[in-house]
Amino acid sequence: MVNALIYARVSSKEQEAEGYSIPSQLKFLREYASKNSLSVQKEFTDIETAKKAGRTEFNKMLAYAEEHKTIQHILVEKTDRLLRNIADYALIDRLIEHSDMIIHLVKENVVLSRDSRSNEKFIFGIKALMAKNYVDNLSEETRKGMVEKAEQGVYPSFAPYGYINQIAADGKKVIAIDPNAAPFIARLFELYATGDYSLLTIRKKLLEEGMIYRGGKNFHKSTIETMLKNEFYTGVFYWKGKKYENAKHKPIIKKVLFQQVQNMLRRPHQNKSKKGIFAYSGLLRCGVCGCALTAEIKKGKYVYYHCTGYKGKCNQPYLREADIELEFEKLLGNIRITENEQEAILGGLRESYRDKVEYHNNCVKQLERQVKTLQDRIDQAYLDKLDQKISENFWQSQTAKWLHEKEELTLKLLAHQKADTNYLQNANLILELAKKAADLFKKQNIEQKRKMIRLLVSNSTYQGGKLDLTLYSPFEAMMKGRESGNWLPESDSNQRPSG
């Protein structure tokens, strides 16, 4: 018997959808192991929640594989169970390249090892890029829906203390002043502006005057600070970094008073220095001591980068930004891909597309079910109100909450439907982008350049007066492939590998 590990992963959302649970993945993989005479030494499972981003078991599995040289196989259901993003991909890629480890992507009929054909590795790499890209795309679509609402002047989330989410007579959702809470907000700003109170003493004062926050009297002074900094109370709101002056909710305090309070809250050391004005800050690493490179302006116009030297004095020479720029252009210019090659890659990805469709259908079905449940609740509550089983107030507040939930679900549903059809289109976009990388890079602004580097470049270190830049390996293959010419997916690459 040969030793193997099993890895299964599910996000908390997926877990609710049929067929995506950890037990079903484990069962599937155990069966595969016994069919192929593999002895499973250990099983690792990750359940991801929105709050807990790290994959502790994934890392433990890699460490375990590293320590136990007798382990030669890792079994996973499919690529997107193993990889969430390109960073995970880099870890797996290194594992394969530097050991005899064999990765089985069982449902995809792919076995990856150091000796795998480069086309298989290539498609694996592109899928890793897609995993990240897909999630970005999904959140993008959801964001669009929220932004549309914001454009209409309605804050697309829960109103802060002082206001309540309500349904207007025409059935539309609005944010109204909460007559019980708003006076305390007005009082808070007025008192604080006198300069006679600290956050702590003002909290005490308001509690004495009868303030109740979210059903209680026990809240931290930082809650007070958050309120004092919330411009929402002046009749505007921020959504995703943009300020909306056309807000439909009524102000509780005047802008002048708000500004007065801000001046009192602000302390000199809180004025952070301008960040992110340099194109490559945070993207380059010192190859000698491992510190990040930082930028500064010399003679009023030339931008130079150098090691921060946090780990002790580091004597590497300064690096001109203009030279860095040229190096990146040169690197990206090395990516070559013809129309035929592009078509062949997309062909390889089309196969995994079917799997995605299945996942989406599941998600969509589930979201639709949830929407229906909420609608049933809303309908029932309305009947209960008519029958006077519940009070008018209770009906108002519950229905507002449910409508809000329903709206968020509907947005997600919409996002799923759009993202679904975008999958292959996205793959195509990535390839298009890679193809024209050098040209695009020259034309783009700092923010776009940084995005592009993050998408394409896996490593950038500075050592011995030289920049050492590496592309992520799907793209690296596009360069190396020029010489060996063997990375292009072949027509027989979809067949089940033997062994």
Closest CB 467 distance from Zn ion, rounded Å: 14
Task: Name which of 17 and 307 has its Cβ closer to Zn ion.
Answer: 307
Closest CB 311 distance from Zn ion, rounded Å: 7
Closest CB 465 distance from Zn ion, rounded Å: 12
Closest CB 449 distance from Zn ion, rounded Å: 24
Task: Name which of 415 and 467 has its Cβ closer to Zn ion.
Answer: 467
Task: Name which of 105 and 307 has its Cβ closer to Zn ion.
Answer: 307
Task: Name which of 244 and 280 has its Cβ closer to Zn ion.
Answer: 280
Task: Name which of 211 and 307 has its Cβ closer to Zn ion.
Answer: 307
Return residues touching Zn ion (CB under 5 A). 286, 288-289, 291, 307, 314
Closest CB 305 distance from Zn ion, rounded Å: 11
Closest CB 459 distance from Zn ion, rounded Å: 16
Angle between helices 392-435 and 339-386 (to 10 degrees): 180
Task: Name which of 180 and 463 has its Cβ closer to Zn ion.
Answer: 463
- Strand pairing report for 242-244 and 237-239: antiparallel
Rounded to whole angstroms, the Cα distance separating 361 from 327 reads 45
Task: Name which of 291 and 455 has its Cβ closer to Zn ion.
Answer: 291
Identify the burial level of 107 via C-beta atoms within 10 angstroms of its C-beta, where 0-12 means exposed, 13-18 middle and 19 or more buried: middle
Closest CB 284 distance from Zn ion, rounded Å: 11
Task: Name which of 23 and 290 has its Cβ closer to Zn ion.
Answer: 290
Closest CB 317 distance from Zn ion, rounded Å: 11
Closest CB 287 distance from Zn ion, rounded Å: 8
Task: Name which of 22 and 288 has its Cβ closer to Zn ion.
Answer: 288
Closest CB 290 distance from Zn ion, rounded Å: 7
Q: How far is CA 215 from CA 202, 212, 225, 266, in A?
A: 19, 6, 19, 30
- Cα torsion 67, 69, 75, 79 to 10°: value is 70
Of 208, 156, 163, 167, give the one whose Cα is nearest residue 185.
163
Task: Name which of 321 and 408 has its Cβ closer to Zn ion.
Answer: 321
Here the tokens at position 226 are 């958050």
Closest CB 134 distance from Zn ion, rounded Å: 37
Task: Name which of 83 and 286 has its Cβ closer to Zn ion.
Answer: 286
